[in-house]
Structure 1
Amino acid sequence: MIELEDKYVFHIPLYKYKDDELVVIEMDGLLDNLISELADKGFDSFYMAEVKSFYKSRIYDEILITVFSPKDKSPLEIFKKWFRKNNHILFQEAFAFEIGDKMIVEKF
């Protein structure tokens, strides 16, 4: 039996707020890069769900990637690095992720 004790949920917006309107983000290659990076580091079993989110009076779609991992291995730095590297495209003021039962928002 395998036990994966830690749960991470990465929030990936599919829209950016630019010039007072929501604009679709071109995610084709970006999301593929994150998935490949996770898989390359051994996180090859996770799930993704598209959800409606609400932030500052705006409703938009986002993808949640949920990864379960053992205590001695974390996908968090992969996600943080990916988000920071691509924020010139994602155009977000902050990014969010969950660890266990906690939501964490990091501003740029």
Structure 2
Amino acid sequence: MSLSKFFVLSALHHKPMHGYEVVQTVDRTTKGCCSPTEGTVYPMLNEFEAGGYLSAHSEIVQGRERKIYALTDKGREAFQTAVEAWLEATDCIVAGKAAADALARSRKQSRS
């Protein structure tokens, strides 16, 4: 799962929201590291809805009709699976960095 899809599911894991709110939440929670546009988020939301990962209904929000998206049970399971996969990937990255740091220290010591 791409990181941007992960962040969208993560935002919706906290609460149901409309598409623009998802965009703002992802940008805010990632401190701008992932700043999806509405042009990328709405197709992703439609894809998730078509796949049964999200349900949607219309609500009036600030005087405008908005489509509110919520995770389904299938979406919550997919998010949990993604969390586990990203944690595993993060562990690999951290372990790789630790190994690279140790190798660099070893080479530096052998030159001294």
TM-score w.r.t. length of structure 2: 0.26
TM-score w.r.t. length of structure 1: 0.27
Greater relative contact order structure (CA < 8 Å, 6+ sep): 1
Task: Tell me which structure has the larger Cα radius of gyration.
Answer: 2
